[in-house]
Amino acid sequence: MRKEDLADADCGIAQSLGVIGDWQSLLIVREAAAGVSRFDVLAHELGFSRRALTERLGRLVDDGVLERVPYSAHPPRFDYRLTRRGEGLVPVLVALQEWGTRHVMGDGTVSGAVGDAEARRVHALVGTRVPDVTLTAHDDTPVGLVDPDRWTVLFLFPGAYAPDTDGYPAGWGDIPGTRGCTLECNTYAARTAALAEAGARVLGVSTQRPDQLAAFAMHAGLPYALASDQDGLAASALRLPVFRAAGTDRLKRTTLLIAPDGTVRRVQAPVTDPAGSVDDMLDAVRAEAGQAARR
């Protein structure tokens, strides 16, 4: 059913379903958010017939969710990329990820701990390229997930707040997996120089607002950048584990080691020892950087 056939013209849900009305279209949007843009790759990743994929791509283009960007003139070939309108669906993807993990794959309990299925999904990122995602750092500057000149230790955490700010929601400490964010951030601060010497930068990411991250970074005196994924761009692109608390989607604690070429080399998930995991990642940087230097 197309949106123009819906009787409920004043309902945003009904009208949205007129655009994204079937699971196949939403999975195409999921892949596009992860940087998959070529027809053949989409067909391989999703397992759709070429006819079904062609029809749904055409509808998504017609509805302004995707745009076709030519990359070959002879023969004509196109990338399918999310428009700004399409990027507005990213929080929907993150919410579905959280709902499915919690209520379909789980028992409905709120947890900030990475589960077995989530750990398998994140560890499957090893060897893949990180999509081109730019976030806003705590000093309001743009920051990418990949640095072409250095290794990146990308640690994702539920939330850390400065004292006397509108921070932790009620019952935060009772949610499994939420404790230890401040300790992890401070331990990375203590190891930043050693990581830099090994050839890596540190980038912490949560779904907090940039001003909240700025207040915490100033309070803790952090020598590295914190970035906000409040719009869910990184969470959606990498299909990161999330949970929902106080009406906000939060990142579960996970760490990725990303090479200068954008390839994920190591993954830590679950992270049960926030401080100890930092030293483990320092060892991993030294090992990976050493191997790269010997190639």
Q: Tokens 């197309």 — which residue?
A: 2
Confidence of residue 271 (pLDDT cuts 50, 70, 90): very high
- Same domain, yes or no: 206 and 234: yes
For the cut 90, the answer to whether the pLDDT of residue 76 exceeds it is no
- Which H/E stretch holds residue 292? helix 274-294
CB of 111 within 8 A of CB of 175?
yes
pLDDT of residue 34: 87
Q: Which domain holds residue 206?
A: 94-294
Confidence of residue 133 (pLDDT cuts 50, 70, 90): very high
For the cut 70, the answer to whether the pLDDT of residue 1 exceeds it is no
For 242, phi then psi, to 5°, come to -135, 160
pLDDT of residue 3: 53
CB of 266 within 8 A of CB of 243?
no
pLDDT of residue 12: 81
Q: What is the pTM of this model?
A: 0.87
Mean pLDDT over residues 13-20, rounded?
Answer: 81
Mean pLDDT over residues 23-35, rounded?
Answer: 91
For the cut 70, the answer to whether the pLDDT of residue 250 exceeds it is yes
Lowest-pLDDT range of 163-167, 182-186, 188-192, 274-278: 163-167
Which of these three, 87, 115, 145, is where a domain ends?
87
Instruction: Give the distance between the most distant pair of CA atoms in the chain.
Output: 65
- Same domain, yes or no: 168 and 225: yes
Number of structural domains (the chain) is: 2
Could you list the beta-strand ranges (E) of the chain: 66-72, 77-82, 134-137, 142-144, 151-156, 200-206, 225-228, 242-245, 248-251, 254-258, 264-268
- Same domain, yes or no: 72 and 152: no
Judged on CB neighbours under 10 Å (0-12, 13-18, 19+), 63 is middle
pLDDT of residue 10: 75
The rounded mean pLDDT for the chain is 91
- Same domain, yes or no: 118 and 254: yes
Which of these three, 87, 115, 136, is where a domain ends?
87
- Same domain, yes or no: 123 and 83: no
CATH number of the domain within which 68 lies: 1.10.10.10
pLDDT digits (tens, 9 = 90+) for 170-185: 888 889 999 999 999 9
